[in-house]
Amino acid sequence: MRRPWIVTGGAGFIGFHVCRRLVAEGIDVVALDNLSPYYDPGLKKARLAELINHPCFTFEHADLADECSVAPLFARYEPEVVIHLAAQAGVRYSIEDPRSYVRSNVVGTLNVLEECRRRSVEHLVYASSSSVYGAGSTPFSVHGGADHPLNVYASTKRSTELLAHSYSNIYELPTTGLRFFTVYGPWGRPDMAYFAFATAMVERRPIVVYGSGAQRRDFTYVDDVVEGIVRVAGTPATCDPAWSTTHPDPATSFAPYRIYNIGHGEQVSIDHLIELLEWNLGVTAIREERPAEPGDAKATHADVVDLEQAIGLLPSTSIDQGLAAFTDWFRGYRG
């Protein structure tokens, strides 16, 4: 019988959508999540309620930073594939509480890597972030450097990539890191700008705009991201025979290791995001402008050529389509 897949962060935004996609395809899924109160746990429980009665779905409450909690679960389920999406998210909060990010993102990932190599997992796919590019120039390419992060969150995500490479080298564990670019959509995270703006707008409160609103982001619709994750998960990383010590490619390796961007490949300004939310919600935003915060990137933009070549996927959902889908869900969720 086919072994189950483990999805960490299964009650989170992207994790929920991945779990829903996998069980719809008949794959047995074990979702691990600690239901962190970083944002409303009620939303996480509402996501789980959508899945909990599916015969292919199992939920386990677990803190990945606690080795004694993680090891028995991996021993019980002996997963075939692990999709590691659990993390402490948020750029601004990482400046306030850096220790929680190291514990969740670095220690938690280390524990997952340890269990993957012990259980002979066929492929570990893990979430990285566009924030690792930091002060780099756009469009961000996986073949360029990512050694000047601008905040603690980005540093922890870059650390997980380096840890993964070590395990790919030492244990020949196939690992693939996916650098997500501003994922949005239904069931999203309330702390992200589009969700926070929508909430404030319908409650007739000011939206807080950091900087001028001219900052540009590569907004990527969640269904496109899920498609990428599922396709990549079914294509375990392999050694790159062309890899050279003379011109080392950071996206590949002599070990079974890969890095890909998952982004839409286009930029949208925060001002335009607000205009689209106003149109879809039928509400005019009340803006409260504040200075840009340290650690915020001025622009993100994904080079997705490698992703398209590897799995034949080019994320295609426009910001107009994606925000319309989000606001439709948002109205229903808010009642």
* Residue 335 clears pLDDT 90, i.e. is over it: no
* Residue 213 clears pLDDT 90, i.e. is over it: no
Query: What phi-psi label fits residue 26: left (phi over 0), alpha (psi between -120 and 50 degrees) or beta?
Result: left
* Residue 46 clears pLDDT 70, i.e. is over it: yes
Three-class DSSP category at 262: strand
Report yes or no on whether pTM surpasses 0.85: yes
* 153 assigned to active site: yes
Above pLDDT 90, what percent of the chain?
A: 81
Contacts of 307 (CB under 8 A, 6+ apart): 228, 260, 261, 262, 313, 314
Contacts of 42 (CB under 8 A, 6+ apart): none
Q: Please, which pLDDT band fits residue 187 given cuts at 50, 70 and 90? A: very high
* Residue 118 clears pLDDT 80, i.e. is over it: yes
Question: How many CB atoms within 10 Å of residue 144?
Answer: 14
Residues pairing with 124 in the sheet: 82, 175
Catalytic: which of 77, 126, 133, 153? 153
Is residue 279 within 8 A of residue 324, CB to CB? The reply is no
What pLDDT, in 10s, does the model give residues 1-37? 689 999 999 999 999 999 999 999 999 999 999 998 8
Write down all domains in the chain, each with its CATH number in brackets.
5-181+220-264+302-315 (3.40.50.720)
Contacts of 303 (CB under 8 A, 6+ apart): 139, 140, 141, 142, 261, 265
Amino acid present at 97 = D
Structure tokens at 252: 């590949």
